[in-house]
Structure 1
């Protein structure tokens, strides 16, 4: 986990158990990036209300986060939070093996086995289980391992019950050529505005979670990453064509601010918009 900008972090405790990990931390405003992990993550807000923007692969949200709000980040998702206010949070990571054990013990007929991403989920039972786990993180004398194992299994079971899906594309399944063309054309036509996962899924008549997996298996990258790359390349083309400022190119390509374009262009192309403009002036 990495904090950027002016963020400062005050860890209050971190503990790992078999299949389970918990981390409690206070942080000042700033940007927080978490690379993809093999485990499912619950990010639980513990403190005062805070203005937060977050992004998980191809999903984004901006809101005021309040005590008890839960973000669900499935395994394999990259996550970014931009906090405008100080935050106090608890992260809980649940391993796929623990989730599988919970799924085996459930009596649901739909056999849920995968986790759906969620923003600001409210679930009193998950929150109470998390608070019990938080006590174990900060305790001088932790409880018996059997108690922790029971907490972890209860959390995994409730997570599947509230945020689980039975649907999963078969390995190797992809979007058909016509559906892929329809999707890519839609993205190109809407690069300057909002592109929502639900709208893309509706184009090809599947659920958002199904579409996300199909797109990744077809294009070999998440939808969000593909959209960012296309927006960067559109901005580059606008700058090279001349007649617009870097700020205008950023807005016309779907970036909210020139600095956002600069950060993304460096990631994708290894150059900044200013460097692209200077190179064009010299040619």
Structure 2
């Protein structure tokens, strides 16, 4: 095995059970993998990763739709990195851990880079490890669960699942109580956990997804702005336009004019 063995893959429906003589980090950008370490199970998702120290028996089965980063680390490999001795603590015991949105986004970016530039897999692996180390170091020791894994409330937040639900209900009046119920949490507790995980409030997150969806419709469709406003849950075009301008620093009408101009230029050049 090379110093850092990092690969991007899709874990299928086959049930695998084994142990290995190296540490392993597993992160997913989407999908679900059911994983059990010495009798203690959990799920690897876009919002939840896993660290498996060497010689620990584990079993897993993917959903066939995940995109997963698997990093295998020979014993002693971390010693080649800055803060390597401290980073060895990442693997002092098996654990699942919450993956905030910013770390999930970084994993997605690095997955693309890995697929485009496989020769850089060691450098990409080192960057990923450093980011994970800094993320876990920011968490207090009291909040860091030990083995077996006692799932904390904010680790019940499957952000990918929440986003999928939000996107299906953009035209509706989405309330924090509804999102909290999806995670089996009280609204107050959900709000606090969501802010800890994403750095923003649930309703601000919903608003951002509404406006991102609106931008795609404006750029790539011909629906009127009023129709788009209704589709994403605004009561009228005026409130939609004001929110859009605050979010993107650009009026939706100007966004459409830019998109049309780009299309005209592309049509002339083709």
After TM superposition, is the score higher than 0.5?
no
Q: Give the shorter-chain TM-score range.
A: 0.3 to 0.5
- The structure carrying a bigger strand percent of its residues is 1
- Please give the TM-score of this superposition, normalised by the length of structure 1: 0.38
- The structure carrying a bigger helix percent of its residues is 2
